[in-house]
Structure 1
Amino acid sequence: MNKAINICREDIFEHLKLSCQLSKILEGVMTCKIIQAKVTELGITLNSEELQQAADNFRLNQQLHTIEDTQAWLQRHHLSIDDFEYLIYTNTISRKLVEHLFGDRVEPFFYENQLNYAGVAMYEVILDDEDLAIELFFALQEGEINFQEIARQYTTQPSLRRSGGYRGIVSRRELKPEISAAVFAANPPQLLKPIITSYGVHLILVEEIIQPQLNEQLRIQILGDFFANWLKQQIEEAEIIIDLNNDNLNRRKIMSGNGNL
């Protein structure tokens, strides 16, 4: 017979402390409270159609195609139907708040900072020996060896070795300043002279410069950056009061017109 194990909220709290996860959890809780307070202040609401669409999208993303799938998912995550409704509400109202606060800032910000969102398709090998890097650079220029052969011989990272040193499309912000300056001044396709950084000596072949476009993916990224900075400031200015004896677990019940999300 299996033994019953009782777990109370104090046990959970103590485990979070001892596993050094409490700070992350507290930040998440504070984020939810800050969002709800701002939503209330601004009077932002959701209608039943918005909630229903959000619930349908969530099920689709989680591949919850049947009622049984949804019930199993809820059970796996220890959630009730009310919890699920509140989860959908929280996610959806958060996105609406982000759009309200920062939606009109995205386009001006992009055009003021679009160079930071440029990308480059590039090959790279990092060496420890500057003399070897210079020797390989001239060998590449003379056509005595190709970049893929260098990557196979001198790259220790398996994925880069298999791809012949190809890093894919890398954004300007992902590159160290000294590398970024040289890469985005290149006239592709161009092999750059070896560049020395704290990581080693970089051999780089610039294949293509990708000019930035304000598509939906980048718009979401910029909105996320705005929101993250705003939340960080709100959290830094907040005072944390932890009350383990507060049994008020009432939540706003968000239902669609037919009573089911």
Structure 2
Amino acid sequence: MASHSIISSSTSSGTNMTTFSVNGDEVSLSRALAWSSVEDPEPFLDLTVERAVLVQYSIHSGIELTADDLQQAVNEFRYEMGIDSADETRRWLKANHMDERAMADACRLRALRSKLLLAIEDTQIAETYQQLATELETASLYAITLPTRREAEKMADQLRNGTLNFHLAALEHSTDETTRPAAGYLGEVTRADLPETVAISVFSVDPGDIVGPLKNGTEYDIYLVSGFQKPPIGEVEPEIRQSLLAEQLGILARQAVVMTGN
């Protein structure tokens, strides 16, 4: 038989919850905070501080919301949660011990975050993109894995002088079960995807060059660097904006003075 928990809340005013009651047992907010601090990967108090400084930073930055901004945030939230009707909204609010005003206030955070993201200057985006250019660069990489250095060195020489086709050699001779069926294709890789010594070698050659053999455990790898790519700034701009805002909010959260009431 499925268990059924009854959860209620005590409030000082409106939806300002101070205690929970679970199956008749009272749980204070301070106790819930302590549980979260010990049990949760991201404790409730830490997340709350981050959200509070987001609101404060929005005010400091002169961010203002229109009714349309707030309504859009509410609509986006309802869409993400699959809340399609007024009845479903009421059921969700009841299940989460909230009223419509509390829901709108919570969605205000989403609207403020969106405004703050858009407020980041394009020049800051461009500067960050340039700083991350090396980190974002990828190499189109192919690999052949062989059991001995002697075999690998012989094959690398043949590949370099053009007497052997890399892709055919990978299909016929590579011992790597993952890349061999793909003619040696390893993927689009960043420096962080590779061991440091391999990354240094791969990203210091020209497209079309052969790298190796390089020792990999008990075997040896030969690489073909097909080309290099950097994502256009427009492709990574949303990620950069998120990163810059998270960095700023993280600084403010660490500087915040947090006190608890009785």
* TM-score where L is the length of structure 2: 0.67
With 67-76 and 175-184 compared, the bigger mean Cα shift is at 67-76
Residues 23 and 146 (structure 1), Cα distance of their counterparts in 2 relative to 1, 3 Å cut = closer
Cα deviation digits, residues 171-211 of structure 1 (max 9, x gap)? 3454455433322333344442144589x965544333223
Q: 2:128 aligns with which of 109, 119, 123?
A: 109
CA distance in 1, matches of 2:60, 2:79: 32
| Structure 2 residue 106 is the aligned partner of structure 1 residue 87 | yes
Q: 1:37 aligns with which of 50, 56, 66?
A: 56
Q: Which has the higher contact order (CA 8 A, sep 6+)?
A: 1
CA distance in 1, matches of 2:221, 2:97: 50
SS in 2 for 1:193: strand
Residues 17 and 139 (structure 1), Cα distance of their counterparts in 2 relative to 1, 3 Å cut = same
Query: Where does residue 170 of structure 2 map in the other structure?
Result: 146
8 A contact 1:119–1:172 mirrored in 2? yes
* TM-score where L is the length of structure 1: 0.67
Q: Which has the larger radius of gyration?
A: 2
Query: Where does residue 132 of structure 1 map in the other structure?
Result: 148
Residues 103 and 58 (structure 1), Cα distance of their counterparts in 2 relative to 1, 3 Å cut = farther
Query: Where does residue 12 of structure 2 map in the other structure?
Result: none
Aligned length: 232
Cα deviation digits, residues 70-96 of structure 1 (max 9, x gap)? 555556656543343223210120221
CA distance in 1, matches of 2:86, 2:199: 51
TM-aligned CA deviation for residue 115 of structure 1: 3.5
Q: Where do 5+ consecutive residues of structure 1 fail to align?
A: 246-261
Q: Where do 5+ consecutive residues of structure 2 fail to align?
A: 7-22
CA distance in 1, matches of 2:5, 2:108: 37
Q: Percent identity?
A: 16
CA RMSD of aligned residues (A): 3.9
SS in 1 for 2:175: helix
Report 1:49-198 matches (<5 A).
49-71=68-90, 74=93, 79-111=98-130, 113-123=132-142, 132=148, 135-136=151-152, 138-139=154-155, 141=159, 142=164, 145-146=169-170, 149-152=174-177, 166-195=185-214
CA distance in 1, matches of 2:74, 2:106: 9
Cα deviation digits, residues 49-105 of structure 1 (max 9, x gap)? 122223333333444444455555556656543343223210120221233245441
CA distance in 1, matches of 2:236, 2:100: 34
CA distance in 2, matches of 1:67, 1:162: 54
SS in 2 for 1:107: helix
